[in-house]
Amino acid sequence: MVQVVAAVLSATVVVVTAYGWSTAGSFDAGFLRSRAIGDDAPHSLGGDLNILLIGLDTRRDQNGNELPAEVLEQLHAGDGDEGGYNANTLILVHIPASMDKIVAVSIPRDDYVPVTGIPGYTHAKIKEAYGLKKAAVQDRLIARGVTDQRKLEQAGREAGRAATVAAVRDLTGVPIDRFAEVTLAGFYDLAAALGSVEVCLNKPVQDSEFSGADFPAGRQQLNPAQALAFVRQRHGLENGDLDRTHRQQAFLTSVARQLRSAGTLTDPRKLSALMDVAHRN
């Protein structure tokens, strides 16, 4: 089964916008909302903010429908039956009240953690908490006679989000104040809004079967499809998932640097366009 990393770009959208929050209040208000964190959950004190970024491995939309064929072709990620609902990218971002040093930590997707409320499981890989809880909740709803695909999908996803947030909170011991979830299609859409992104490889890599990655050594500009392949690739890399995590971090750093140098954060037109894409995804 193809394992896919999704939407590390969401980290950039959240992080680089943090220091401009006071002048872009509409940014926060424009997202679909979730109650997965819970009203009784612990929160950071003193104005600090912890944001969990979830890159979700799915080829389906919020209602459970397969993505259009032309979109799947660009993603190079198989059809809607492949993948699943693994949270293959988990990044915990800490934004201090002072805004002086924003820190992001990648959480390995195969960390083995306790899970609750999932029949047959006491532990699972942290990436699996989302999909396992989603399936368990949907099975219970179906047993009660619920047949509406949209209701099943949305209820299942909300349960998956809550399970993922809880798993990361329990693993790290820190509160989660907010989270952002983006899928493969969301990453592609954001990369398209940014245009090309520069990366630099020490040596050429190629992975035609899984991610579609095919890059020479040296500096190069990635288009949206190449950007997705770059952060997804783990086959053909010496250290597999760990190297892929380094790829994500390098890409994130490059995007943040590019946004600053291009003046995106101080250009109302550019910032508005980027915010619109983030809201759609």
Query: What pLDDT was estimated at residue 19?
Result: 43
Which has the higher per-residue pLDDT, 121 or 80?
A: 121
**Average pLDDT for 263-272:** 82
What residue ranges do the domains of the chain occupy?
9-280
- Condensed to tens digits (0 to 9), the pLDDT of residues 31-72 reads 888 999 988 999 999 999 999 999 998 888 888 888 777 777
Which has the higher per-residue pLDDT, 126 or 14?
A: 126
Supply 67's token pair.
């993505």
Query: What pLDDT was estimated at residue 9?
Result: 44
87 pLDDT more than 60: yes
132 pLDDT more than 80: yes
Query: What pLDDT was estimated at residue 18?
Result: 52
Q: What percent of the chain has pLDDT over 70?
A: 88
82 pLDDT more than 80: no
119 pLDDT band, cuts 50/70/90, is very high
22 pLDDT more than 50: no
Query: What pLDDT was estimated at residue 5?
Result: 40
Which has the higher per-residue pLDDT, 16 or 182?
A: 182
CATH of 9-280, one of 3.20.20.140, 3.30.2320.50, 3.40.50.1820, 3.40.630.190: 3.40.630.190
**Average pLDDT for 249-257:** 88
226 pLDDT more than 50: yes
Distance CA 165, CA 246 (A): 23
8 pLDDT more than 50: no
10 pLDDT more than 70: no
Query: What pLDDT was estimated at residue 11?
Result: 46
Rank 21-35, 220-234, 264-278 by mean pLDDT and report only the highest. 220-234
Query: What pLDDT was estimated at residue 261?
Result: 85
Lowest average pLDDT, out of 72-86, 158-172, 221-235, 263-277, goes to 72-86
101 pLDDT more than 50: yes
Residues 6+ away with beta carbon under 8 Å from 57: 3, 4, 5, 6, 83, 84, 85, 86, 87, 88, 127, 184
